[in-house]
Amino acid sequence: MSKKEKLKGKDLAALGYENNELRSLAMLIVGRLYKHDGKEKQIEVLKDLMLKPEDYLMHPELSPIVNKILEIEKDTPKYIFEEKAYEIYGEEGIDKSAQDQMKQAMSLPISVGGALMPDAHHGYGLPIGGVLATENAIIPYGVGVDIGCRMCLSVFEAKGEWLKSKKNEFKKILEQNTKFGDGYFDDNKRDDDFFDRSEFGDLPILQHLKDRAFKQIGSSGGGNHFVEFGLVEVGEGDAALGLAPGKYIALLSHSGSRGFGANIAGYYTDLARKKRKLPKQFEHISWLHMDEAEGQEYWLAMNMAGDYASACHHHIHKRIGKVLGYDTILRVENHHNFAWKDTMPDGREVYIHRKGATPAKVGELGIIPGSMTLPAFIVKGKGHPNALYSASHGAGRLMSRTKASAQFTQKMMRDELARHGVELIGGGLDESPFAYKNIHEVMKAQNELVEVIGSFYPKIVRME
């Protein structure tokens, strides 16, 4: 037999021999017994062994493989995966891969409800823009890597026209008072009560991450995270924000829990995979039951990451607000990438995962950003039950980072920014305005989910 005809590990894996010990045993025995019969015959035997192991229990040579298959089957939990209906908002703008991901998540035995928001696109675990309700369980990758990623808007008691007349001063403030990626502030006053929390002593993984969290607080992540100055516009009929009509200088930030949250996500996803032993295509959405110690640990750690993300934003806004010297007259903020303990419309207690989705219960305030050239919207939730009290978390990507970087040029991006009167500090083509869906179309697709009560127009944007 030529090298080309020899069995390989991937051949066995395709037949269901995913366990390393079983795969090695099967290759050794079948390869030896049928070495003169060719690869096709070997695959035929291996396939039959996997489909009808009981028929080979008494086989003098193949029985060790069968015994191993049956041993693994006995130790592998049996799950029933069934497709369930879910709501889709703005379906015409959502790619098939995101819808397929949502179908997969909805088929989990723990899933009892779901919805896809109009900004949805393919992600890891749940699609970005996916909302999933589960009973007595949380999916770490359903929450996501950047736990507690959030929006935070501060509106200052400052005349809107100052942003244009003093643009260089505002630009300098952003450059000197924001850090991204691995950057951090040596002079941060790290006196947050957060670092005194008992969870750091209760969970070893948090103790391990404490120094890193302490160092990075007040900084922002890379990618689509930003800190920007802009204008909040309040019209004559807009009374919901409690602001007099006019234009106000505002600061908007988007970031999450940094390496602190990413390490928590990775650690508990690995635990969930080992405990659930799901088929390979479902591994990334493995769950932890809430009556397991690991589930309770993840719940504590996830909430810590969410509180840390919030603290990071408050540091950013406090630092910049202090330099500005203006009073903050309004603050609106909200998480996405989180799981909330809640109830279904029928009263069942569940955990609602919002992977890139904004909480939108009746009267709940939130911020839904567009792109760096289109407005963000301050919204008030309508509490729509079919959407599991949720809305989009932004405009959503129209294309991948790689495709955007290849398709557009720096000149195209500069021209588009200039056309909208926006100045960009940092940022790459992967985050160009062209890479995102039109926020106006996204908002139109979810008008039954939220009410728009204010608009924020970016003017000076800082990214990595």
The full set of domain ranges for the chain reads 3-75, 148-255+299-332+358-462
pLDDT digits (tens, 9 = 90+) for 233-277: 887 766 778 888 889 999 999 999 999 999 999 999 999 999 998
Q: Average pLDDT for residues 361-365, to the nearest whole number?
A: 96
Nearest in space to 383 (alpha carbons), one of 352, 349, 337: 352
CA gap 152, 168 in Å, rounded = 23
CA gap 103, 88 in Å, rounded = 11
* pLDDT for residue 439 is more than 60: yes
- pLDDT given for residue 3 in this prediction: 47
Which run of H or E residues covers position 445? helix 439-445
- Reduced to 3 states, what is the DSSP secondary structure of residue 412? helix
pLDDT digits (tens, 9 = 90+) for 390-431: 999 999 999 999 999 999 999 999 999 999 999 999 999 999
Burial (Cβ within 10 Å: 0-12, 13-18, ≥19) of residue 266: middle
pLDDT digits (tens, 9 = 90+) for 292-314: 999 999 999 999 999 999 999 99
CA gap 135, 111 in Å, rounded = 7
CA gap 373, 156 in Å, rounded = 21
* Average pLDDT, rounded, for the chain: 93
CATH code, 148-255+299-332+358-462: 3.90.1860.10
- List 111's β-bridge partners, or say none: 134
* pLDDT for residue 82 is more than 60: yes
- pLDDT given for residue 18 in this prediction: 83
Nearest in space to 253 (alpha carbons), one of 358, 364, 174: 174
Taking the CA of residue 303 as centre, how many other CA atoms within 13 Å lie in the half-sphere pointing to its CB? 12
